[in-house]
Amino acid sequence: MIRFKPGRLLLITLMCMVFIKIYQHNLIIRLNYEHQRLELKKSQLKKQKNDLLSQLCFLKDPRCVTSFAQGTLNMDKLKFSQVMTFTGF
């Protein structure tokens, strides 16, 4: 049977505590890096959201819709003479 002297037991316990403290420190560093990475991604996503909202507002603009319809789809404004009304049965 192995007999531990009080000095050795104290030394082994101290070394274990040092390694546990180093491990905790490494975990904290890793979590800080992950936090920084997620904050960067969050800021990029906010910028992308703002860009998409700006593009949506631009595309909802009636002038933009009119120019797209007239330029790309070759649509013209409707004349009053082209309108047919239906008053009922």
How many CA within 13 A on the CB side of residue 21?
6
Mean predicted confidence (pLDDT) in 43-61: 95
| pLDDT at position 75 | 86
Contact yes or no for 79/85 (Cβ under 8 A): no
Of residues 38 and 68, more confidence is placed in: 38
Which pTM does this prediction carry? 0.59
Is it the case that residue 45 has pLDDT exceeding 60?
yes
Of residues 41 and 9, more confidence is placed in: 41
Is it the case that residue 88 has pLDDT exceeding 80?
no
**Rounded CA gap, 18 and 48, in Å?**
45
